Amino acid sequence: MEIQSIKNRFGIIGNSPQLNFALQVAAQVAVTDLTVLIAGESGTGKEAFSMIIHALSARKHNPFIAVNCGAIPEGTIDSELFGHEKGSFTGAVDSRKGYFETVNGGTIFLDEIGEMPLGTQARLLRVLEAGEFIRVGSSKVQKTDVRVIAATNKDLLDLTEKNKFREDLYYRLSTVPIRVPALRDRKEDIPLLFRKFAVDFAERYKTAPVQLEEDAKNLLINYSWPGNVRELKNIAEQVSVLSEDKHVTATALRRFIPESSGSRLPMVVPSNGVGSGNGSPEFANEREILYKLFFDMKKDVTELKKMFLEIVQNPALASQNHSAFLNELKELKPSEQLFQNSALSNAQPVVIHNSVNGHDDIHHHEEVEESLNIMDKEKELIVKALKKHKGKRKDAASDLGISERTLYRKLKEYDINE
């Protein structure tokens, strides 16, 4: 079947090479019973491709059902897909057929397959390999003849490496992969799609269709479209309803385009010594905060050393400065109070007394500079915070100014046993 006739039949707008290739693969695989994996960002129209494949297949007169795996709770997805027996779990007052039973002979579209729980993935794999399934709470094996088309907006291969998706299921699903291009990768189609949506909404709301000026078209073409075709359709509807002038300029159109999503450029982490090795903004910020605290702490330690040295050299000042010293400690900021024990322990004046004629003379005084290794300090602070809060991670993380998840990661990184 020709690509243009498929576009006309299913209302597909666009002429980009990526779109045409995806449609060509869909048409070629439709006449087979092969499993298909449709990959693409959210809003690109993956479900439309599943309908095209079903409508061009020998199963076109049999049932078709679309299931969003991410919208079904983990505790009920097995029952939804494979059915259950009466009394198999709380609330199962009757037996129920699952989708693989009711759609026998047809096509089932599993959207957001990456959200499917691992246990359900094992059941699905058995259906794909042997055409068999078992209802929840039953021991009877049942047969089914269902074609599976799956879709995802995630990198399933990456999920398999993180043990969040079965590798054998991934290769079984991706017998024929189809990649639906993002809207920003088919810029030449954006004005055509907008015009189609504008005409549709004009008919619905009984108004004249809006028309874009050249600068407005350029604005649409250069926008990143994180929501893809779905977002374009929403903006077209807003402009059709809310625009007072039917000839829309870039200035008027800019009111409807979110500024926060205007760029999809990667975040740049400054290479000034505070960024993490893995480029994580969160970790970079933590390092930045720690560096600031360490430098503030070093300044306080220097002041404390100076104070101790004065007291050692002139013991008579000890009683005079005792109250003032305590008041200075009390006035420390909470973040500084966290470090005061560490600061005091790192200030190591070594004083050797030599008693001559009953008088203590200072023989010499040596200062040992504290370690400023960032990793040592980080580990030391974590240990002290855990000790302070008696091993309670949540309180320790709050005191350190980091998230509990980050604290857990650092415990593993530094091999700290609580």
Give 111-131 pLDDT, tens digit per residue.
Answer: 999 999 999 999 999 999 999
Assess if residue 264 is contained within a domain: no
Say if residue 130 is in the same domain as residue 197: no
- The confidence band for 288, taking pLDDT boundaries of 50, 70 and 90, is low
Place of tokens 């809060």: 389
In angstroms, the Cα distances linking 192 to 12, 241, 251 are: 11, 19, 20
Say if residue 138 is in the same domain as residue 217: no
| Chain mean pLDDT for the chain | 81
Say if residue 308 is in the same domain as residue 164: no
Q: What is the widest separation between alpha-carbon atoms in the chain?
A: 113
Are 123 and 131 contacting, i.e. CB atoms less than 8 angstroms apart? Answer: no
Q: How far is CA 351 from the centre of its chain?
A: 56
The first and second tokens of residue 148, run together, are: 């599976």
Question: How far is it, in rounded angstroms, from Cα 191 to Cα 383?
Answer: 59
Are 164 and 178 contacting, i.e. CB atoms less than 8 angstroms apart? Answer: no
Assess if residue 292 is contained within a domain: yes
Assess if residue 273 is contained within a domain: no
Which long-range contacts link 72-81 to residues 24+ away (Cβ below 8 Å)?
Answer: 74/117, 77/116, 77/117, 77/120, 78/119, 78/120, 78/123, 78/136, 79/136, 81/120, 81/123, 81/124
Say if residue 237 is in the same domain as residue 293: no
Question: Which of the two residues, 394 and 131, has the higher pLDDT score?
Answer: 131
Number of domains in the chain: 3
Say if residue 313 is in the same domain as residue 351: yes
Assess if residue 286 is contained within a domain: yes
Name the amino acid, one letter, at 203: E
Question: Which residue range forms the structural domain that includes residue 395?
Answer: 281-413
- State pLDDT tens for residues 182-219: 999 999 999 999 999 999 999 999 999 999 999 999 99
Say if residue 28 is in the same domain as residue 148: yes
Check residue 29 and report its DSSP letter: H
Closest to 297 (Cα-Cα) out of 349, 350, 335, 348: 335
Lowest mean pLDDT among 186-190, 291-295, 330-334: 330-334
Are 11 and 200 contacting, i.e. CB atoms less than 8 angstroms apart? Answer: no
Say if residue 128 is in the same domain as residue 195: no
Lowest mean pLDDT among 203-212, 232-241, 400-409: 400-409
Say if residue 342 is in the same domain as residue 199: no
Q: Which helix (H) or strand (E) holds 361?
A: strand 359-368
Are 358 and 397 contacting, i.e. CB atoms less than 8 angstroms apart? Answer: no
Say if residue 31 is in the same domain as residue 88: yes
The first and second tokens of residue 225, run together, are: 């479209």
pLDDT of 161 above 90? yes
What is the DSSP pairing of strand 348-356 with strand 64-68? Answer: unpaired
- The confidence band for 357, taking pLDDT boundaries of 50, 70 and 90, is very low
Q: What is the mean pLDDT of residues 58-79?
A: 94
The first and second tokens of residue 415, run together, are: 């091999």
Say if residue 333 is in the same domain as residue 389: yes
Q: What is the pLDDT of residue 260?
A: 52
The first and second tokens of residue 58, run together, are: 């020998």
pLDDT of 323 above 50? yes
pLDDT of 46 above 50? yes
Assess if residue 341 is contained within a domain: yes
